[in-house]
Every structure is written in structure tokens, then in C-alpha cells.
């Protein structure tokens, strides 16, 4: 029901659900990273730390973890409620950003700036990821990190300034060569940065040349899932695959990418609707690529590399789980 409401609201505004989801994350009336308030005529600024707790800064830029002693009850109550809301908001953001990486989502620079750098919570997340900007044709221009002061720096600590027409996204390792990946891994290590989600260490899957003109891959054909059929259900659901009941009580899984009109459907035999106590086998045979809109076949060569790689990564992770 919530998803349907979101879809309806996005349609009414003429934007995508992802764009709407960016806009509805509360900013608590912060102006950029700060919310100003006064205590006994002195101005203070509240901000959100990297651990997503509120801190406060006085006029001399001295930081304190708690509100000033003479803060009035109304202001105290306001910040208590804000902290509660922050705790609620962050519960969904990690999985949301992981989905954006898996789907290859891109923002226009101004859109991205407002959604992340100009937002008191999302700016924290922005600092925990490696980003890229590209031109309208998808050519990589910069790879960068976000600093606490919202400046953007490249691997040599030079500040970068994306154009407003550039597209920004979360860097996926399939986009870069091995030497670039190694250099950025070293940069993260030296900067003591652990990315919010597995990023540069993700396994990359590239289609076999003999399957590019096909709409089916048999990359994992005839392989049994070691942990059995019940594990298939929990694994696929956690990774955002939709399940539906087929003939004879068998479960089928699929994942749709509306923006690209692509639906991915693995044929996994032996998974039933009811609880099986992992009896029997769950065997993967093939993975099909079709259009969401009319179920026509989609050739593997036309699948965006990130989407192909991430779908195969999901299946491989299930097979490798012991």
C-alpha cells in the first residue's frame, strides 16, 4: 500500500519514485548541515555527527555533545524528537543506497547536491561512499570523495567541480580497470575510510561473448544451492527479488528495473511455497532477461553492465554461502 501511494504521488508530481524518495527524507528545517538556535542571546548550531547523533557548536566553534545548560524546554523537546526521527530515517538508508548502486542510478549534479550535500543526514552517507561524475553519454570524468566541508576531492586530493549537466552516481568496480581500483582501495585505506556498503571489493560479472546475442544465461546452470530451498527464499527476498507462486506450488523469483524496462527471472527448481526444512534440492538452470512492459526477450548485450553484474552477484552469493 505504501509503495502504491509513493508511485501515485510521484506520478502526480511528474517525477520518478526514486526522486520522490530523495525529497521526502526529513531535513528538520536545517539549513544545509546546520540548525541554528539561541540560548541566552548566544547563537548555537546543531549538526549531525558521523555516528548520526546530534552535536552542538557555539559561536567560537567549540563543539559539545549536549545542549547548553540553559536551553529552554521547548528547544530541548524539539531536539529530542529530531534525534528520534534521525534514528528512524537511517534504518532504511543503507539498503536504499545499496539498491542505487545495484541499479546504476544516476543524478543530475544539482539534484545530487540537494539530495546529499545540502541535507543534514544524507551528507553523512555521502562521505562514506566513492562517487563518480560522467557526461550525458556516460563517459567517466571524475571519481571523488566527499569531505566534511562538502568539498569534492579526487585521488590526489585535488578539488573537483562537476558541471551542472554532469551525472553523478555511486562508483561500481565494473566501471574502472584493475589499476584504478587498486589505487582507490589504497586511497580509502590511507584515509581510514570504510565504505558504507561493499563497493570496490564487489565481485564483477561480465557476460560470456557467446551469450551476448541471447536473452538467457546459463552461467550457473545445473548448480545446487548448498543451503537448500528454504535458504533460497530468504536470500532472494533480502536482496529485493520478488516472489510469486507458480504451478504446483513452486516459487518463482524476479527483479525488475523499470527505468530500463528489464526484468530478470532465474529458473530455480525445487523451491516451494511451504516451509521445506531444506529437504530436497534447489537447482539453478538458467536466468532469463525480458522486458517489464510486454515480456519480450532482451538480449544480454543490451543489459546495462552494472545490472547484469549485480544480478549475477546475487545468485553467486547464494551459491557460495556455506
Each residue's pLDDT tens digit, 218-265: 999 999 999 999 999 999 999 999 998 877 788 999 999 988 999 999
Instruction: Single out the residue of 129, 182, 313 nearest to residue 235, CA to CA.
Output: 313
Distance CA 303, CA 103 (A): 11
Arithmetic mean of pLDDT, 119-137: 95
Q: Which CATH number fits domain 209-320: 2.60.120, 1.20.1070, 3.30.310, 3.30.460?
A: 3.30.310
Give residue 228's pLDDT: 92
Please give the Cα distance from 255 to 266 (Å, whole number).
Answer: 9
240 and 201 Cβ atoms separated by less than 8 Å: no
Distance CA 24, CA 52 (A): 18
Cross-strand pairs, 46? 35, 56
Residue 152 has pLDDT above 90, yes or no: yes
Query: Any idea where the domains of the chain sit in the sequence?
Result: 209-320
Tell me what pLDDT residue 234 has.
93
Apex CA 123: angle with CA 122 and CA 124, to 5°?
85
In this predicted structure, what is the pLDDT of residue 14?
82
Question: What confidence tier does 278 reach under pLDDT thresholds 50, 70, 90?
Answer: low
Give residue 2's pLDDT band: very low, low, confident or very high (50, 70, 90): low
Q: What is the pLDDT of residues 72-109, one digit of tens each?
A: 999 999 999 999 999 999 998 999 999 999 999 999 99
Query: For the range 34-42, what are the long-range contacts, defined as Cβ-Cβ under 8 Å and sequence gap of 24 or more?
Result: 34/120, 35/82, 35/120, 37/71, 37/75, 39/67, 39/68, 39/70, 39/71, 39/72, 39/75, 40/68, 40/70, 42/68
Residue 141's pLDDT is what? Answer: 96
List phi, psi (to 5°) of 16: -80, 165
21 and 96 in contact (C-beta within 8 Å)? yes
Amino acid at each position: 500500500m505504501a509503495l502504491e501511494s509513493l508511485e501515485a504521488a510521484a506520478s502526480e508530481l511528474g517525477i520518478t519514485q526514486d526522486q520522490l524518495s530523495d525529497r521526502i527524507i526529513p531535513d528538520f528545517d536545517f539549513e544545509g548541515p546546520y540548525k541554528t538556535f539561541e540560548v541566552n542571546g548566544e547563537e548555537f548550531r546543531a549538526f549531525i555527527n558521523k555516528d548520526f547523533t546530534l552535536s552542538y557548536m557555539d559561536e567560537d566553534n567549540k563543539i559539545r555533545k549536549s545542549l547548553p545548560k540553559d536551553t529552554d524546554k521547548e528547544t530541548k523537546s524539539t531536539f529530542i524528537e529530531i534525534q528520534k526521527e534521525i534514528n528512524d530515517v537511517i534504518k532504511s538508508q543503507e539498503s536504499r543506497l545499496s539498491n542505487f548502486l545495484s541499479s546504476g542510478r544516476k543524478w543530475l549534479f544539482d539534484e545530487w547536491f540537494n539530495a546529499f550535500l545540502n541535507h543534514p543526514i544524507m551528507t553523512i552517507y555521502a562521505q562514506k561512499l566513492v562517487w563518480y561524475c560522467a557526461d550525458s553519454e556516460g563517459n567517466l570524468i571524475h571519481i571523488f570523495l566527499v569531505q566534511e566541508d562538502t568539498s569534492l576531492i579526487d585521488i590526489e586530493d585535488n578539488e573537483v567541480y562537476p558541471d551542472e549537466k554532469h551525472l553523478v552516481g555511486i562508483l561500481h568496480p565494473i566501471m574502472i580497470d584493475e589499476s584504478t581500483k587498486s589505487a582507490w582501495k589504497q586511497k580509502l585505506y590511507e584515509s581510514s575510510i570504510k565504505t558504507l556498503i561493499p563497493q570496490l571489493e564487489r565481485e564483477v560479472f561480465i557476460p560470456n561473448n557467446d551469450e551476448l546475442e541471447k536473452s538467457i544465461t546459463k552461467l550457473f546452470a545445473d548448480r545446487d544451492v548448498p543451503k537448500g530451498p528454504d535458504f533460497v527464499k530468504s536470500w532472494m527476498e533480502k536482496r529485493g527479488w520478488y516472489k510469486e507462486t507458480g504451478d504446483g506450488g513452486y516459487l518463482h523469483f524476479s527483479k525488475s528495473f523499470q527505468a530500463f524496462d528489464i526484468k530478470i527471472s532465474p529458473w530455480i527448481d525445487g523451491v516451494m511455497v511451504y516451509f521445506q526444512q531444506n529437504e530436497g534440492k534447489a537447482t539453478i538452470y538458467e536466468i532469463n532477461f525480458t522486458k517489464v512492459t510486454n515480456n519480450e526477450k532482451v538480449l544480454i548485450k543490451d543489459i546495462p553492465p552494472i545490472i547484469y553484474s549485480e544480478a549475477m552477484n546475487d545468485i553467486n552469493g547464494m551459491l557460495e554461502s556455506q
